[in-house]
């Protein structure tokens, strides 16, 4: 599998300003969320990135990026028919090739000092030669925020766990998860939720584009999770339990949590921990 392109979705009317918010990254540099994400993608060797954006946002997005040599393509989502529809707009950009996809309202912090989360996923997808989604073990009280998979452990070696995906449900309830999404080997009350990044094959784009007109006629929304469930029935589709964490900055205090995680993963970790202890101590008096 050869991967040279990435697609990032950033057109949500509710979250469109999140990618241009600034944080101090793990190197101590002030960067926008978008630039931190682009650096994540660039760590894999990918140079061509398509960003699906809200109409009129290109100028603000370009201004938020001060340090990248990547080739950027901007596509505006003028009609709003869901997350899957947004991805489908990049069909001409991907041109029948596999592609890496990430959402723009998550930040990813690797637990592997040598490899970013995106690099872990892409290397595993290439080794398995199939579509692959990043996943993370998540408590049942949080699964209503994420797509969640059902599957079985395919391989575990060197601290890496790869699962064969059987089904994907979007934001299930705990009852649905208990009935359909139990993954053998996980602790009780925990499920594998989508990490916010995927390696997708041309078949995914074909299925998305084929559903667009039907979705428009019905006045509904085209989501990615049902397409991924269909993918699991039609070709090899796996999940990598990524060594690291994803931080959903669209949630309450999401930017704060992401900033804290970046700081604790950086070179000034000890200083940050000391400052946090001082803040907690003062707050208790």
| pLDDT in the model for residue 157 | 67
| pLDDT in the model for residue 224 | 96
Tell me the Ramachandran region of residue 129: left when phi exceeds 0, alpha when psi lies from -120 to 50, beta otherwise.
left
- With contact defined as beta carbons under 8 Å apart, do 35 and 66 qualify? yes
Helix, strand, coil shares, percent, the chain, to 5: 35, 30, 35
- In the chain, which residues have pLDDT < 50? none
CATH code, 5-283:
3.90.550.10
| pLDDT in the model for residue 91 | 98
| pLDDT in the model for residue 15 | 86
| pLDDT in the model for residue 60 | 96
| pLDDT in the model for residue 25 | 93
Q: How many angstroms separate the CA atoms of 27 and 13, rounded? A: 31
Q: How many angstroms separate the CA atoms of 17 and 12, rounded? A: 9
Give 13's contacts (C-beta < 8 A, 6+ positions apart): 54, 80
- With contact defined as beta carbons under 8 Å apart, do 162 and 239 qualify? yes
Kindly list the domain boundaries of the chain, sorted by start residue: 5-283
Q: Tell me the pTM.
A: 0.93
- Residue 137's CB is within 10 A of a number of other CB atoms, namely 13
> E strands within the chain?
5-10, 22-24, 30-32, 48-53, 71-76, 99-103, 106-110, 131-139, 147-157, 160-170, 190-200, 237-241, 244-248
Beta bridge partners of 73: 50
Q: Could you say which DSSP state residue 215 is in?
A: H
């Amino acid at each position: 599998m050869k991967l040279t392109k990435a697609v990032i979705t950033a057109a949500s009317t509710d979250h469109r300003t999140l990618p241009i918010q600034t944080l101090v990254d793990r190197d101590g540099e002030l960067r926008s969320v978008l630039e931190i994400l682009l650096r994540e993608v660039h760590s894999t060797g990918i140079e061509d990135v398509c960003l699906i954006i809200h109409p009129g946002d290109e100028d603000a997005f370009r201004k938020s990026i001060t340090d990248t040599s990547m080739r950027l393509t901007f596509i505006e989502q003028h009609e709003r028919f869901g997350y899957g529809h947004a991805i489908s707009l990049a069909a001409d950009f991907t041109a029948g090739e596999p592609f890496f996809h990430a959402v723009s309202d998550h930040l990813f912090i690797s637990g592997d000092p040598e490899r970013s989360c995106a690099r872990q996923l892409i290397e595993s997808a290439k080794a398995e030669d199939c579509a692959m989604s990043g996943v993370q073990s998540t408590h049942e009280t949080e699964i209503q925020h994420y797509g969640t998979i059902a599957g079985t452990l395919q391989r575990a070696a060197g601290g890496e766990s790869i699962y064969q995906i059987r089904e994907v449900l979007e934001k299930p309830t705990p009852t649905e998860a208990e009935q359909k999404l139990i993954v053998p080997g996980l602790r009780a009350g925990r499920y594998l939720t989508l990490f916010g990044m995927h390696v997708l094959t041309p078949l995914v784009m074909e299925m998305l584009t084929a559903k667009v007109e039907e979705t428009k006629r019905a006045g509904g929304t085209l989501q990615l999770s049902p397409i991924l469930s269909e993918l699991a029935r039609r070709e090899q589709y796996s999940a990598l339990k990524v060594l690291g964490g994803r931080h959903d900055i669209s949630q309450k205090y999401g930017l704060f949590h992401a900033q804290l995680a970046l700081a604790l993963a950086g070179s000034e970790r000890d200083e940050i921990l000391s400052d946090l202890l001082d803040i907690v101590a003062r707050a208790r008096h």
